[in-house]
Amino acid sequence: MEETWRWFGPKDAISLAEIRQTGARGIVTALHDIPYGEVWTVEAIRERKALIEADPSLGLRWAVVESLPIHERIKLDEGDLSPLFDSYRASLRNLAACGIEIVCYNFMPVLDWTRTDLAWPLPGGGRALRFSAETYAAFDLFMLKRRGAEADYAPDMIERARTWFDASSDSERSTLLATINAGLPGAYDRYDEKGFQAILDRYAGTTRDVLRERYRRFLEEVIPTCEEVGIRMCVHPDDPPRPMFGLPRIVSNADDLAFITGCVPSPANGVTLCSGSLGAGAQNDVPAIARRFAPLIHFAHLRNVAKEPDGSFMEADHLDGDVDMVDLVGVLLAEQRRRKDEGRADWRIPFRPDHGHELLDDGKRTTHPGYPAVGRLRGLAELRGVIRATERHGGRAA
């Protein structure tokens, strides 16, 4: 498996030289400065690629795009979408022309990943990302005041949310709003309570089936171009895998992935296997999902979560939590061997240590939430050990 590392570009607090010290050689990045819907030009792609490869002694390469964002109007089916699809296809062609073949993306409406705490305290002084069901409900019910939200919560959860809200300060509420917005690392839109409600109003009447059909259209528009130029698209699961703010989520479980990959059956229409996103769903057996969709896994995010009965969860150590990481790594290695035996040039599955606890001196520099240096390095080292041990035992854990 190819070790990769997410890098947010020249403004990232973690340098390319430091990434090389982790042992990873593949860079996962995007052109975050380009607004959604605009074309990624060959010149812009080559400039970023040249920056990654500028020091030959590092041996780095741009391995995966994460992500090429889908404009919100496509998810809304709003207005004339032809120019947006044309731009997306042009960007795909330009990436392929520059030798970049794997594109991770998501189809989550309004927000990407959502957490309520970005610095949950750990024993010894570390910090973790956390999703608290009651804090999220407090935001939805009493800060956002979303119309009809009460129907989505049990009475005891409404009471717990009210207790949190009544005890919270203006500063805590402001921090929560910023935290909810933090899952948009490259987006230009940030929302206050009124802005949230305004974008939610634009989704009025968008059911699960309606959103699925909009996604189907997106795939029908772009996958033929991917096949033409050799791009492999891989959808990222919803994070968390549940409806959010009254909006459906349609990439949350095995049935969703079966629908998506069946819409336009093609090796170009694949999956990013995110063990943490899928693992946050109580119904999801992540290794089983990986086995089912193994031929279509083009990229993997490996992290772990510890779930709670009320739907809360916290980012766990990479080898702890609720996902059997040893079993999952075995599935990925078995699929990789199958591809190699077929003689495929692209047999290696790139993966990255996803998220990570803030450890040691991580707090001394500002990184994107969930993407500290030491915490991810620890995760990568642990995963590297599991991979090496599993390979030594013929693809099976000792």
The active-site residue out of 140, 256, 354, 362 is: 354
Active site residue 98: no
Active site residue 354: yes
Give me the catalytic one of 71, 236, 298, 318.
Answer: 236
CATH code of 56's domain: 3.20.20.150
Q: Is residue 67 part of a domain?
A: yes
Residue 41 lies in domain: 2-114+201-392
Task: Decide if 236 is catalytic.
Answer: yes
What is the spatial distance between Cα 268 and Cα 101, in angstroms, rounded to a whole number?
10
Specify whether the CB–CB gap between 349 and 301 falls below 8 A.
no
Total-model pTM? 0.94
Report the distance separating Cα 301 and Cα 150, nearest Å.
34
Of 290, 280, 282, nearest to 254 by C-alpha is 290
d(CA 248, CA 43): 37
Cα(145)–Cα(168) distance, rounded to whole angstroms? Answer: 16
328 within a domain of the structure (yes/no)? yes
Of 88, 355, 357, 362, which residue is the catalytic one?
355
Whether 137 is in a domain gets the answer no
Catalytic residue, from 191, 226, 274, 298: name it. 274
- Residue 112: the pLDDT is 86
Residue-level pLDDT at 397? 41
Residue 265 is assigned to a structural domain of this protein: yes
Check: CB of residue 304 under 8 Å from CB of residue 321: yes
- For 298, phi then psi, to 5°, come to -100, -10
Does 298 qualify as catalytic in the annotation?
A: no
Measured between alpha carbons, how far is 351 from 290 in angstroms, rounded to an integer? Answer: 14
Helix (H, G, I), strand (E, B) or coil at 232: strand
Positions of the chain with pLDDT lower than 70, given as ranges: 183-190, 395-398
Is 49 within the bounds of a domain? yes
Tokens found for residue 162: 């009210």
- Give pLDDT tens digits for 238-269: 999 999 999 999 999 999 999 999 999 999 99
Query: Tens of pLDDT along 213-228?
Result: 999 999 999 999 999 9
Count the domains in the chain: 1
- Asked if residue 33 belongs to a domain, the reply is yes
Phi, psi for residue 229 in degrees, rounded to 5? -105, -5
* Residue in 71, 301, 318, 357 annotated catalytic: 301
